[in-house]
A and B are shown apart, each in its own frame.
Chain A
Amino acid sequence: MMSDNGNQAMVEITNLKKYFPVTQGLLRRVVGNVRAVDDVTLQIIKGETLGLVGESGCGKSTLGRTILNLHKPTSGTVLFEGTDLSGLSGHDLRSMRARMQIIFQDPYSSLNPRMTVNAIVGEPFIIHKIARGTELDQRVAQLLERVGLNPLLGTRYPHEFSGGQRQRIGIARALALNPSFIVADEPISALDVSIQAQVVNLLEDLQDEFDLTYLFITHDLSMVRYICDRVAVMYLGKIVELGSIEDIYDNPQHPYTQALLSAVPVPDPIVEDQRQRIILEGDLPSPADPPTGCNFNTRCPIAFDRCFEEEPQLKDLLPRHDIACFAAEERLQV
Chain B
Amino acid sequence: MPPKILELVNLVTRFHTDDGTVHAVNGVSYDLHEGETIGIVGESGCGKSVHALSIMRLIPTPPGEIAGGEILYQGTDLLKISEDEMRKIRGGEIAIIFQDPMTSLNPVMTIGKQITEALNLHMDMHGEQARERAAEMLDLVGIPQASDRLNSYPHEFSGGMRQRAMIAMALSCAPSILIADEPTTALDVTIQAQILDLVGRLRERLGMAIIWITHDLGIMAGLAERLMVMYAGFIVERASKHRVFADPRHPYTLGLLNSLPRVDKRESGSRLIPIVGRPPDLTMLPKGCPFYVRCPFSIEKCVAENPPLLEIAPGHEIACWVDVHEAATHEVLG
Question: Which residues of A approach B to under 8 Å, CB–CB?
Answer: 55-56, 162, 164, 192-198, 200-201, 204, 219, 221-223, 225-227, 245, 249, 259-272, 277, 279-280, 283-284
Contact = CB atoms under 8 A, between A and B. Distances in A.
Contacts of A260: 189-190
A211 B216 CA distance: 33
Given A283-B160, A283-B191, A265 B274 contact: no
7 contacts: A55-B190, A164-B278, A197-B272, A225-B266, A267-B217, A267-B262, A269-B241
Nearest to A55: B188
A225 B279 CA distance: 27
Contacts of B264: 266, 268, 271
A27 B328 CA distance: 70
Given A198-B274, A219-B188, 18 more contacts: A192-B279, A193-B43, A195-B274, A196-B259, A197-B260, A221-B189, A225-B261, A225-B262, A260-B189, A264-B218, A267-B221, A267-B262, A268-B264, A271-B221, A272-B221, A279-B190, A283-B191, A284-B188
A239 B210 CA distance: 39
A324 to B, nearest CB: 18
User: 8 tightest CB-CB pairs across the interface, nearest first?
Assistant: A265-B218, A197-B274, A226-B261, A263-B193, A197-B272, A197-B259, A194-B275, A55-B188
A56 B274 CA distance: 27
Contacts of B245: 267-269
A89 to B, nearest CB: 40
Nearest to B160: A283
A269 B259 contact: no
B176 interface: no
B44 A265 contact: no
Contacts of B193: 262-263, 277, 279-280
B261 A265 contact: no
B255 A194 contact: yes
Q: Which of the listed residues A55, A162, A266 has the most CB atoms from chain B within 10 Å of its own CB?
A: A266
Contacts of A195: 274-275, 278
Main secondary structure of the interface of A (DSSP, over half): helix
Given A219-B188, A263-B192, A267-B217, A277 B197 contact: yes
A264 B219 CA distance: 9
A264 B217 CA distance: 11
Q: How large is the interface on B (under 10, 10 to 19, 20 to 34, 35 or more residues)?
A: 35 or more
A71 B113 CA distance: 44
Nearest to B264: A266
Contacts of A196: 259, 274
A272 B222 contact: yes
Contacts of B259: 193-194, 196-197
Interface string B172-195: 000000000000000011111110
B324 interface: no
B33 interface: no
Contact of B263 (A56, A192, A204, A249): A249
Contact of B273 (A197, A269, A283): A197
A267 B43 contact: no
Contacts of A198: 274, 276
B315 to A, nearest CB: 15
Contact of B197 (A193, A249, A279): A279
B256 interface: yes
Nearest to B294: A194
A164 B215 CA distance: 16
Contacts of A219: 188-189
A76 B219 CA distance: 41
A216 to B, nearest CB: 13
A192 B271 CA distance: 18
Contacts of B103: none
A283 B158 CA distance: 8
Contacts of B271: 201, 204
A223 B266 CA distance: 10
